[in-house]
Amino acid sequence: VAGDEKELRAPICCILGHVDAGKTKLLDCIRGTNVQGREAGGITQQIGATYLPAENIRDRTSLKAETAIKVPGLLVIDTPGHESFSKMRSRGLSMCDIAVVVVDITKGLEKQTVESLHLLRCHNVSFIVALNKVDRLYGWKECTNAPIVEALKKQSDDVKSEYKWRLTKVVTEFKENGFNTAPYYENNKKKKVVNIVPTSAESGEGVPDLLLLLVRWLPDIITDKLAYDDTIECTVLEVNEHKDLGTTVDVVLINGVLRQGDQVIVCTKQGPVTTIIRDLLTPHPMKELKAKGAYKHHKEVRAAQGVKIVARGLQYAMAGTSLIVVKPGDDLRQAEAAAMQEIDMAISTTDENEKGTTTQEVSSIMTCKEGIYVQASSVGTLEAIIAHLKSSSVDIPVYDWNLGPVYKQDVMKASAMLKRKEEYAVILAFDVKVMPEASALAAESGLKIITADTVYRLVNIYTEHIKGLKE
């Protein structure tokens, strides 16, 4: 049995859904953590990664010890549900083998649920629906962590009937979007009909069922995708400054093995940077990679896993690009050229929604002669801010952008607007440090630096600032 569990790599499972459907809360319920409670504004703004080992999943599902789990564990990727983060969702999904679409039972399918379904169809990814917040049904009797069929039996006729009509409504909405769905406990055609698992992230009903489906059923239908492969596939999620470790990058290792001492290439706005992996860290099992906690050190890490890499020269690595490993005998020049292509792709992605037109989402904004300056901690959040600025309700042009801390040079660049258009003489800085020299120079020259902990607040503060200027 134990041997069986090691043959396949851990599937990567993406959690998708509309804002506030309960994606993060559902993961908290599985992990026994409180990530959601600590998020600024209660919203997720960066992709997360959590490794759930098979044994922990077994505990939660009360599977018998002799029952084989075919995978060593699950790597779960949390994504933001807010509209502006569509690029991040798409990136999250592109790493995944399977997905869970979380739907709020009291709301049914919403705008980003439908967007998720569109993405899943494009990428041809199998998924399960978690029909969440069943505890919100009026009069619900809590049955902590119970399998859903058991919990439903204990409910009054009123609750059962509300559950029935809400479920029917959701099934109809899925049908309207081209998907046949059924509650999993009544689903005889699991290969053709998408499973719905009713859940509560608050009291845990249905969570064992969801985990069981993920580890027992899904690996069967995607076995070929889960065979180990030597090719290293690794995506940078985020760059962090750690007080003891220095600069680190969080990556998702999708395929292959990373080792201490590996020569790797990361992409930066200035070009490829080649460096050596000094240390490989993972959070403890069942903990979120992006939540700053204690780490385990490793000589090597096998896919799939969320990993924190310690190495010199990482400070300008761009989130969303690949980390490339240079194997002995590889041509370094060639590898760096491949990395350069990555950079071009990262900063000039094509918008699928605008048929045929290649919109250079980030780089085209540089050519705008009058506009504000945006600075963010990762490509993903930068994209989200720019998407929000470009939306019709806001519609603010961007002059230039940068990643990482705000330095004097950024202030100098942004100050070009002081002479051209005063209302644009501003830096919107999200989740980055503003260096003291930069603040001082900005104060001296009259440039405004705005910081906030959510993308939406950041832009709101700016629009308020403009109103103030005009009055």
Q: Given the rule CB under 6 A, which residues bind ligand GTP?
A: 17, 19-25, 36, 42-44, 80-82, 102, 132-133, 135-136, 200-202
What residue 32 binds from Na ion, Mg ion, ligand GTP, none (CB within 5 to 8 A, per partner kind)? none
Report the alpha-carbon distance of residue 450 to residue 448 in Å, rounded. 6
- Interface size with Mg ion, residues (CB under 5 A): 3
**Shortest Cβ distance from residue 81 to Na ion (Å)?**
7
How far apart are alpha carbons 145 and 288 in whole angstroms?
21
Measuring CA to CA, how many Å separate 128 from each of 9, 17, 60, 118, 451? 20, 12, 18, 15, 38
Beta carbon of residue 252, minimum distance to Mg ion (angstroms, whole number): 17
Pick the closer one to Mg ion by CB: 24 or 199: 24
- The residue within the footprint of Na ion, chosen from 20, 110, 115, 238 (CB under 5 A), is 20
Q: Which is nearer to ligand GTP, 15 or 265 (CB)?
A: 15
Quick one: what does residue 264 bind among Na ion, Mg ion, ligand GTP, none, with the CB cut-off 5 to 8 Å set by partner type? none
Residue 57 and residue 69: Cα distance in Å, rounded? 9
For residues 451 and 448, what is the distance between their CA atoms, to the nearest angstrom? 10
Determine the length of the chain: 471
Give least dist CB 201 to Mg ion, A.
Answer: 11
50 belongs to the binding site for Mg ion (CB under 5 A): no
Q: Which two tokens stand for residue 92?
A: 């999250």
d(CA 305, CA 10) in angstroms, rounded, equals 8
Region near Mg ion per CB under 5 A, out of 38-46, 251-259, 330-338, 449-457: 38-46
- Rounded to whole angstroms, how far apart are CA atoms 211 and 99? 12
> Please, what is the minimum distance in Å from the beta carbon of residue 142 to Mg ion?
23
Query: What minimum distance in Å lies between the beta carbon of 40 and ligand GTP?
Result: 10
Minimum gap (Å) between residue 110 Cβ and Na ion: 13
DSSP string, 174-226: HHHTT--EEEGGG-S-TTTSEEEEE--TTT-TTHHHHHHIIIIIHHHHTGGGG
Site for Mg ion in 208-237 (CB under 5 A): none
Q: Name residues whose C-beta falls within 8 Å of residue 268's C-beta, 6 or more positions apart in sequence.
A: 316, 317, 318, 343
23 lies in the binding site for Mg ion (CB under 5 A): yes
Decide which of Mg ion, Na ion, ligand GTP, none touches 97; Cβ closer than 5 to 8 Å per partner kind: none
Closest to Na ion by CB, 42 or 271: 42
- Which of 10, 22, 44, 194 is close enough to bind Mg ion by CB under 5 A? 44
Q: How far is the CB of 335 from ligand GTP (least distance, A)?
A: 36
Binding to Mg ion by residue 18, rule CB under 5 A?
A: no
Contacts of 471 (CB under 8 A, 6+ apart): none
Binding status of residue 24 toward Mg ion by CB under 5 A: yes
CA distances from 227 to 10, 114, 200, 323, 419 (A): 9, 31, 33, 21, 59
Interaction pattern, residues 31-70, with Na ion; x per rule: CB under 5 A: -----------xx---------------------------
Phi, then psi, of 458 in degrees rounded to 5: -55, -50
Phi, psi of 374 (to 5 degrees): -120, 135
Q: 257 - beta bridge partners?
A: 302
Name the residue nearer to Mg ion (CB basis): 15 or 258: 15
Q: Residue type for 74, please?
A: L
202 binds, among Mg ion, ligand GTP, Na ion, none (CB under 5 to 8 A by kind): ligand GTP
Q: How far is the CB of 160 from ligand GTP (least distance, A)?
A: 18
Where on the chain is the footprint of Mg ion (CB under 5 A)? 23-24, 44
Where on the chain is the footprint of Na ion (CB under 5 A)? 20, 42-43
